[in-house]
Amino acid sequence: MGRRTVLLVTALVIAALGTTMVFLYVHGLDDQAIHKQDPVSVLVAKRTIDPGTTYKDASDQASFEKKTVSRDALADGALGSTAPLVGKVTTTTIYPGQQIIPQMFGNSGEVSTLSVPDDMLAISVQLDDPAQLAGFVDAGTNIAIFLTTEAKGGQTRLLLPKVLVLAIGNKTATPQDSTTTGTEAASVPTTILTIAVDQHDYQAVSFGTTHGRLNLGLLGRGFTPSLTFRPTTESNLFDAN
């Protein structure tokens, strides 16, 4: 074997080793990044599952899959397997990509009543898309509810700092007021949102829906808004905190 051939073979071997080392290095960085995210395996919906669908039917249609998410993105009570769903039926519409939580399923015959946590009440409110965060709120999400009223010259303040969403109902379209020319304005998409509350909060939400406008706030991990934060009014709108 000539000297040039030996050098060529040696160069190819070194190049191959270099490529392998780079691959292993990058793969190691990916593993470290995933590890830092504290990944969790969670059950999610692969397709839309209608209310009243039995677990068996949903399973036969391959409606579930496992997905790895960071712990920060994990919904409260999200399931890691289908075992708790055996013999159950869906109590709400489940959309593709939604993490599966126990409140989405109930016993046969309970489809119309939801699975409400013990010592809690379920109440539904109708919100337009901007008020309910343009569709980013799912069943199992914790939200804050703010109330805007015309009382005392108009004000916005926190009504409930943290409530659990039980279900998102089907969207409807509520026509706006007609113009003076009699032409009907564009319809505004609205959503029925069902939440779990105690009696005090039930009465607060019921009062708020008839005396003002409700808006939702999607809570970041570890954040709880303060009930003592002063209301925002026209007079202090541009004041510093």
CATH of the domain at 82: 3.90.1210.10
Q: First and final CA of the chain: distance in angstroms?
A: 81
Same domain, 99 and 129: no
Cα–Cα distance for residue pair 113/98, rounded to 1 Å: 21
Query: In terms of pLDDT, which residue wins out, 22 or 183?
Result: 22
If pLDDT is split at 50, 70 and 90, which confidence band does 139 have?
A: confident
Q: What is the 3-state secondary structure (H, E, C) of 37-98?
A: CCEEEEEEECCCECCCCEHHHHHHCCCEEEEEEEHHHCCCCCCCCCHHHCCCEECCCECCCC
Give a yes or no: residue 65 inside a domain. Answer: yes
One domain, residues 110 and 121: no
pLDDT tens-place string over residues 104-121: 888 765 555 567 788 889
Residue 83 CA, distance from chain mean position: 22
Residues 6+ apart with CB under 8 A from 115: 91, 102, 103, 104, 105, 106, 166
> How confident is the model over 153-166, as a mean pLDDT?
91
Q: Are 111 and 50 found together in one domain?
A: yes
- How big is the chain, counted in residues? 241
Q: Identify the three-state secondary structure at position 106.
A: strand
108 and 157 belong to one structural domain: no
Q: Residue 47's domain spans which residues?
A: 39-115
pLDDT of residue 206: 92
Assign 190 to helix, strand or coil. strand
What is the share, in percent, of the chain residues with pLDDT greater than 70?
A: 68
